[in-house]
Structure 1
Amino acid sequence: MLDFENACSISSHRAHFSQANAVLFHSRNINSKEISSFPFPRRQEIPYVMVAYESPYNAKLETYKDFFNWTMSYRIDSDVFAPYGGLLRNSELVKVNYAKIWRSKTKGTLWLVSNNNVNNKRKKIVEKLIENGMKVDLYGKVYNREPDNCPRDGAQEGCDERFQSPYKFVIAFENSNCKDYVTEKFWRKAEQYKMVPIVMSRKIYKDLGIPDNMYIAVDDFKTLKEFVEFIENLTSNEKEYMKYHKWREEFRIAEANQEIFGFCDLCQKLMDFQNRTIPKKSYSSLIAWHNEENCDNSFVDRYL
C-alpha cells in the first residue's frame, strides 16, 4: 500500500487486498490451479506482479495467460528490475587503500558450494581446474567440509568474514548459465569480502554492464591449463592483481532491494502507475518469456 508520504509498505495480510496498489506472487509458491481458485475477485485497476528470482530451471513458471501485468526478476528486461545486487556509480572517484587490501589477502582461491544438483557441470569444471594444477580450498555441503570455528549453523558473529576475506579469488559459478543470472555469490563476495570472482562465461556479466576488470572469466581462455597459469601468475603479482579492484574507485555495490533495485524500483513504478505514466499490459505467456532457451550451459563441454 502507498502511504501519504509516497513511500511503500508491504503486507501479506489478506485484509489489505482491497487497499493494495499491486498484488505480488512468487513463482515457486504458486501454480495455475491455485491461480484459478484465487479467493479474491480480480482487480483490473492495479498490476498483478509475478516475482521470479530463480533461473528458468527452478522458477517453475507456467503460462498464466493474461493474468499477470508485470514481471519482477533479476532479468534486465523485467518490468521491475530486482537483481541480487548491482553497481551504482559514485558521485566522485573514491580513494581505495590498495595496500591494505593486498596485505589482507594471504590465501589463494576459495570455493564454498552446497548444491550439486545443477545444470552446468560446475563441479566437473572445478575438478578439472584442480587436475591442471590449480589450488582451490573446497568447502560446503558438497564436500562435507565446514570452516574451522565457523559452522553453517550457530557460527560466531564475524567468523564468516574472517574466514573468507583473506582469499584473493572466489569461484562464483552459478547453478546455471542463464541470461542476466548473477546472484549474491558474486556481489557479496566482491563487496563484503573484497574477493575477485571467477565466473564461467564473460557474456552474462558483460551484458549487465559489469566492468571487465571486476572478475575473471574461464571462457576467456582456450584451455583450462592457460587459465590456471594466469591465476597462478596473478596470485603473486600485486600490481596486476590490484587492477581487479580498480572498479572500486568508480562504483559501489548495492545489494538486493537497495536504492534503485527490487522493491525500491517497484515502489517508484507504482507511483508512476498511479499517475498513469506506465501503460497497462499483460503477459500472454510467462513461460515463453522466462524459459530454458535463455540459458546456455553447453560451452563448458569444450573444457571437459
Structure 2
Amino acid sequence: MSSRSSIIFHALSFSTIDVPNLDDVKSDGRAFETDEVKGRYKFYASFENDYCADYLTEKIQHTYSVGVVPILDESKDYSRFLPTNHSSLRLDDLATSKHLAHRILGVDQHDSAYMKYLDYKESTTPFESLLHPMLLEAFDISQGKWGPHGDEARC
C-alpha cells in the first residue's frame, strides 16, 4: 500500500469518512464518470503519482471543476497553481492522519468553514489572473497546447 493510501486509511480509523467505490454503476447499468463521483463529495484526495516540480496532477483540476476541495500531499509547493492559499487541505498543515480526519469532519459539519474553501469561486477576477505568470507563459493560447512539447508530460 502506498504511503498516500495509508494516510487516508489511517484517517478512516478515526472517523466515518466515506470512500467511493468507482466500480459502482448507475441504475441504467453505466459506470459513473470520475467527475460524477467526485461531485457527490466535499473533499477528494488529489495526491501525485510521481513528483515533478512543475507538474500538477489532473486530479486537482478536476476537483476544482466540480467544486470539490482537494486534499493535497505535502511533497511540493502548489501555491503557484491554486486559486488561493485557502482552496485546499494540505497534509503538511496537519500533524497526523487523526488531525486530517478531524479537519475534514469539522469543515464538513460547518457550512461557513467549508464555503471559505470555495471563496475563490465568488471572484469576478478572470481565471487567468489567478494563475501564476509562469503557467500562463507556458500555455500557448493560439495552439491550445502547453509548452514546446505540447500535451506531452515531461519532468
Considering only aligned residues, what root-mean-square deviation do their CA atoms show, in Å?
A: 3.4
Q: 2:62 aligns with which of 183, 188, 199?
A: 188
Task: Tell me the distance in 1 between the aligned counterparts of 2:45 and 2:126.
Answer: 21
2:96 pairs with 1:223: yes
**RCO higher in structure (CA 8 A, sep ≥6):** 1
2:26 pairs with 1:149: yes
Cα deviation 1:76-107 (Å, max 9, x = unaligned) = xxxxxxxxxxxxxxxxxxxxxxxxxxxxxxxx
Give structure 2 stretches of 5+ with no counterpart: 129-135, 146-153
More strand by share: 1
SS at match of 1:194: coil
SS at match of 1:137: coil
2:72 pairs with 1:199: yes
Cα deviation 1:35-68 (Å, max 9, x = unaligned) = xxxxxxxxxxxxxxxxxxxxxxxxxxxxxxxxxx
For 1:235-274, list aligned pairs within 5 A: 235-250=108-123, 262-264=139-141
> 2:83·2:120 contact (CA, 8 Å) conserved in 1?
no
TM-score calculated relative to the size of structure 2: 0.70
Task: Tell me the distance in 2 between the aligned counterparts of 1:125 and 1:249.
Answer: 32
Correspondence for 1:127 = 9
Supply the AA of the counterpart residue of 1:149: K
Cα deviation 1:152-200 (Å, max 9, x = unaligned) = xx947xx535433221111111112431322211111211x11111111
Identity, % of aligned positions: 22
Runs (4+) off by over 2 Å: 131-134, 159-164, 207-210, 249-254, 259-268
Supply the AA of the counterpart residue of 1:130: L
> 2:74·2:90 contact (CA, 8 Å) conserved in 1?
yes
> 2:56·2:81 contact (CA, 8 Å) conserved in 1?
no
2:86 pairs with 1:213: yes
Give structure 1 stretches of 5+ with no counterpart: 1-115, 141-145, 269-288, 291-304
**Residues 253 and 131 (structure 1 numbering): CA distance in 2 closer, same or farther, change over 3 Å?**
farther
**Greater C-alpha Rg:** 1
Task: Tell me the distance in 2 between the aligned counterparts of 1:126 and 1:267.
Answer: 36
